[in-house]
């Protein structure tokens, strides 16, 4: 949002001053290029630019420019980083309440079925679930992360206008919908959820059964509208897939 300049909308520039660093998501030290590639692979459900390409260098340079003046390896949290979740709700997040709040506050942009608004070959408003959405490996697939983004940024132009309860309920409803498969999928949803649970999926609904219809979330091999594409750099050491000289 705002070309990466809006506080609390996951401005990725913050990693330009904290990387290289170990990342639990892929269990090794990541640099800035790999962190950007992860956004393409998970949050955009796509294939990232190759390392060293003009596009990747341009993105890296832009992130570093956005971080101008910020202290390297800061010893306190960076203002505006991430999606701080709202306070814990008075009641447990609820699917039915979330659906009603979504229809009232979100569907005008993101559609009743969560398909987003697609026009002239691009998304004007992204799809919060379904084939055109982020995949199950994206950070925003976690309920608390989605709640934080909604509370801090939505509805568009009205940040922090929703109650804590509404933000959690809408997040729970959206997070209970299907989306493309996690690129780290092993072929078995329970195995994948267990493997990546300690660092990621223990905070999402991936592999859990929806109470209202018995559907097991993530139990499929659908990688989205782009087809069965698994980004070459997901979960791998940076140079593992480069051919030997």
CATH, residue 61: 1.10.760.10
Same domain, 103 and 178: yes
Residue 28 forms part of a structural domain: yes
Same domain, 120 and 58: no
Same domain, 51 and 149: no
pLDDT at 226: 64
d(CA 239, CA 51): 10
d(CA 23, CA 19): 10
Same domain, 103 and 197: yes
From first to last of its 245 residues, the chain has per-residue pLDDT tens of: 889 889 998 888 888 998 999 988 888 899 999 999 889 989 999 888 888 999 999 999 999 999 998 888 788 888 888 888 999 999 999 999 999 999 999 999 999 999 999 888 888 999 999 999 999 999 999 999 999 999 999 999 999 999 999 999 999 999 999 999 998 899 999 999 999 988 889 999 999 999 899 999 999 999 987 655 555 445 444 434 433 33
Same domain, 52 and 112: no
Q: Which of 111, 120, 237 is nearest to 174 (CA)?
A: 111
Same domain, 100 and 52: no
Same domain, 53 and 131: no
Residue 86 forms part of a structural domain: no
How many structural domains is the chain composed of?
Answer: 2
pLDDT at 10: 82
Same domain, 153 and 57: no
Domain boundary among the residues 12, 47, 66 is at: 66
Contacts of 98 (CB under 8 A, 6+ apart): 169, 170, 171, 172, 173, 174, 176
Residue 34 forms part of a structural domain: yes
Residue 224 forms part of a structural domain: no
d(CA 245, CA 236): 19
Residue 244 forms part of a structural domain: no
Same domain, 116 and 62: no
Same domain, 190 and 106: yes
Provide the domain limits for residue 125. Answer: 95-203
Same domain, 103 and 167: yes
Element (H, E) at 147: helix 143-153
Q: Residue 66 in contact with residue 4, Cβ under 8 Å? A: yes
Same domain, 113 and 56: no
Sign of CA dihedral 40, 136, 149, 129: positive
Residue 142 forms part of a structural domain: yes
Residue 182 forms part of a structural domain: yes
Residue 146 forms part of a structural domain: yes
């Amino acid at each position: 949002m705002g070309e990466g300049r809006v506080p609390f909308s996951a401005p990725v520039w913050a990693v330009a001053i904290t990387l290289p660093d170990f990342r639990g998501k892929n269990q090794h030290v990541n640099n800035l290029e790999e962190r950007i590639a992860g956004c393409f692979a998970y949050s955009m459900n796509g294939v990232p630019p190759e390392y060293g390409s003009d596009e990747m260098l341009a993105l890296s340079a832009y992130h570093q420019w956005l971080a101008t003046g910020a202290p390297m390896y800061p010893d306190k949290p960076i203002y505006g980083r991430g999606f701080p979740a709202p306070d814990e709700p008075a009641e447990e997040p609820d699917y039915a309440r979330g659906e009603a709040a979504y229809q009232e506050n979100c569907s005008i942009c993101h559609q009743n079925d969560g398909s987003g608004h697609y026009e002239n070959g691009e998304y004007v408003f992204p799809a919060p679930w379904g084939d055109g959405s982020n995949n199950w490996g994206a950070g925003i697939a976690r309920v608390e992360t989605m709640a934080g983004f909604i509370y801090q940024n939505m509805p568009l132009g009205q940040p922090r206008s929703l109650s804590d309860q509404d933000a959690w309920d809408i997040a729970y409803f959206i997070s209970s919908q299907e989306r493309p498969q996690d690129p780290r999928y092993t072929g078995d949803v329970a195995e994948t959820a267990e493997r990546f649970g300690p660092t990621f999926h223990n905070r999402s609904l991936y592999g859990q059964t929806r109470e209202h219809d018995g559907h097991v979330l993530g139990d499929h091999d659908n990688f989205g509208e782009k087809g069965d594409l698994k980004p070459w750099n997901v979960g791998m050491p940076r140079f593992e897939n480069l051919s030997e000289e």
